[in-house]
Every structure is written in C-alpha cells, then in structure tokens.
Chains A and B, each alone.
Chain A
Amino acid sequence: MSSVQTDGSIRAADIIKELKRAGIRFVVAVPDRVTSERLLKPMLRDPDFRVVQVCKEDEGVSVCSGLHCTGHRSLLLIQYTGFLDSINALRAVAVEGQNPVCMMIGLLGKEPDVPPTGSRRYGLRIVEPILDAMGIEHDLIERFGDAAKIAPAIEHAYARSQPVALLVGREPV
C-alpha cells in the first residue's frame, strides 16, 4: 500500500497491486465509466493480466467459472447495471454452483461518501440488499486504504468457493 494520500479516494495503483497479490491473472470485463480509465485501460496494457472482453456480464460469470476449474484466478470487472442483468447466472453458476466468482462492480453515479443504500438512485440503493438476499458477501471500496480489503476478500471467496462483490464507490485516482 502506498503511503501517499491524495484526496481520500482509493488509488487505482493500490487496487491493481492488491489484485496481483491475490493471484488474479485473468480479468473478464465489460467497460464501466467508474473503472475504465484507471483500471481497465491500464490492465489492457499490463502484461501481468490477460483481459477477456465479454459482450455481456453474465457471459463473464461463466468464463470466470470455467477458468476456476482450470486452476486460474480471475476478476469480473463490471458496472452495477451489469450485475443486475446477471442475477440468474450468479444465482445458478456462482452461488448454487459454488464458484468463487470475484466481482469488482462500479457504482456509477453514487454520491461520494454516501452508502449505496442511501443513494438518491434507485438502481444503486438495491444493489446491497440484492447481494444480501443472494447470500453474496460484499464490501465497499472507495476510500484511501480500502484497497487492503481486496486480497483478503478474494482469498476468502476462494476458500469458501463462493462469489464475492467488491463495490467501487467512486472513480479511483
């Protein structure tokens, strides 16, 4: 973790470092304005990652599950709208199928330092209650220092063979 603090926002470099520490080599992605500039584009240039661009997020749930069966760790990098669109695949493939699908979900439009359940946007308010109803563990990452949650969350997901959602509450710096 870098000791340099900017405006209190989570740093993209710290996120990438933690993903590598967790053994993530495949990134399966649909672009999201919260993460495209500082995470996805650098990952596309980073030889340590193989980025698989999928057309729709539920494809990604299954690609990650296939990769898991071959012994590879992967990250599904998507927007919350894609998460909402993928609920049946997550239900069947990740939760019931006991596949450790590790999601990083951009909360586009979330107000800074407002919890998702307190957002003015209906689509954002329902994300955490849906994850709770599905029994999917989740954590909000948006502040400097939150990147330290990433590797343990991924390790825990693989240990339980269950999905996890890391909710990116603002664009990383």
Chain B
Amino acid sequence: MMKRDECLKVLARHRGDEIMVPVYKAAQEWIHISPSDLNYTFTGAMGQGSSHALGLALGRPDKRVIVLDGDGSLLMNLGTLVTIATAAPKNLVHCVCENGTYETNGAVPLPGVGRFSFTAMARAAGYPKTYEFSDLEGWQREVGRILKEEGPILVTLKVEPGELYPEDFRRLYSVERREAFRQALQRG
C-alpha cells in the first residue's frame, strides 16, 4: 500500500504539459503537490471526473489527459469504463486511487471492498491496457513508460492516506479558476 501523497509526488515528477483531472482527496493534495493552471478540478458532482476528462481528451487530442479518480467516485459511474473504452481516446490515462473508503465522507468502507477489481472491470469493458500498483517502487519504475503509452489506459493505485492537506472545495470548483484553465489551454 502506498501513501497517496507520495504516490502523487512520483507522478508529479513525470508531469509535463498534461491536463490533470483530480477528484476529491486526490484533488485537495494534487493542487499543492503540482500547482498548475492545467489542473482541471471543476468536476462538480461525485463520479464525474472521468467523464469530464473524456470531453477534454476528445476536444484536445493533441494533449494528454490524466484523471486521478477515486474508488467511491468510480463506483458511482461505472458505465464510464464502457463509454471511455468505446470512444477510445488515445490520449487518456485513467488512474484510480483505491483506498477502500469514502474518505471525504467520513471514511466509511465502500460496499464490496476487497471483492472487486477496477483493473479487471476496465479490461472487461475494453480498455486496451491496464495496470495495478500497490508499492511505491513499482510505480516509480513504471510511471514514466506508462505515461508515454497509447490510451485509454487504466491504472489502479492502491493507496492509504498520507500527510494531511487542507480541504478547499471552493477552490476546487472555482469558476474563475476554470476560466484560467480555459485560457491556459488556449495558449497551448
């Protein structure tokens, strides 16, 4: 099991000009770990991160889009796996931070925790490539290569809470920051 913030710091070291779509806890941490106008945190409703990312990926096929989904979030929108596999954007990497709980909503366990596999579901839905990491060394070793591969790719990251970061939902869903994102995207 990896500390989520350590896992995200590894990813941040490999970040170039990708669009990042983090949700909930991963978003609260990512905006401090890798601040950028190309962080799209405006996903609004739980479960919708990967669907926003699909729109971004289809609209800007020249840019790589990386989702940092949550396990509770993805369970709320499982159809997205089939939708994304069917649309098949080559520039989309779908990471799922799997911690087994609704961490933002009181750390209550997920239904079926430990009995299902997002990696297997994504493969069955038609994702051409899937990966799963539960140790930091393996993630560090492979992340650079994975980010260069053709998508859509699903990466399950088995994580647990690490360092505490401040929560700021107003910042995550700020319309002003969304406009800054749009302008940054227009520039390149």
Contacts and interface: CB of A to CB of B under 8 A. Distances in A.
Interface in B112-160: none
A62 B83 contact: no
A70 B82 contact: no
Contact of A66 (B45, B56, B175): B56
B96 interface: no
Interface in B30-61: 40, 42-45, 47-48, 51-60
Contacts of B55: 62-70, 74
Contacts of A54: 51, 79, 83
Contact of B56 (A50, A60, A69, A92): A69
A59 B44 CA distance: 12
A97 B53 contact: no
A69 B83 contact: no
Of A55, A60, A63, A65, which is in contact with the most chain B CB atoms at under 10 Å from its CB? A63
Contact size range, A: 20 to 34
A151 interface: no
B51 A88 contact: no
A71 interface: yes
Given A50-B58, A71-B59, A89-B44, A66 B52 contact: yes
A64 B58 CA distance: 10
A52 B58 contact: yes
Given A64-B55, A93-B44, A97-B178, A70 B60 contact: yes
Contacts of A97: 42, 44, 173, 175, 178
B105 interface: no
A69 B77 contact: no
B44 A92 contact: yes
A70 B44 contact: no
A20 interface: no
B77 A66 contact: no
B104 interface: no
B181 A69 contact: yes
A98 B178 CA distance: 10
A152 to B, nearest CB: 24
Given A93-B43, A97-B173, A97-B175, A62 B48 contact: yes
A41 interface: no
A62 B173 contact: no
B28 interface: no
A55 to B, nearest CB: 3
Contacts of B80: 55, 59
Given A64-B55, A66-B52, A52 B87 contact: yes
Given A69-B55, A70-B60, 16 more contacts: A50-B58, A53-B86, A56-B77, A58-B77, A59-B51, A59-B79, A59-B80, A61-B48, A62-B43, A62-B48, A66-B54, A66-B56, A69-B181, A89-B44, A93-B45, A97-B173
22 contacts: A54-B51, A56-B79, A58-B45, A58-B51, A59-B48, A59-B80, A60-B51, A62-B43, A62-B52, A63-B51, A63-B55, A65-B52, A66-B58, A67-B56, A67-B58, A68-B55, A69-B178, A69-B181, A69-B182, A91-B45, A92-B45, A93-B48
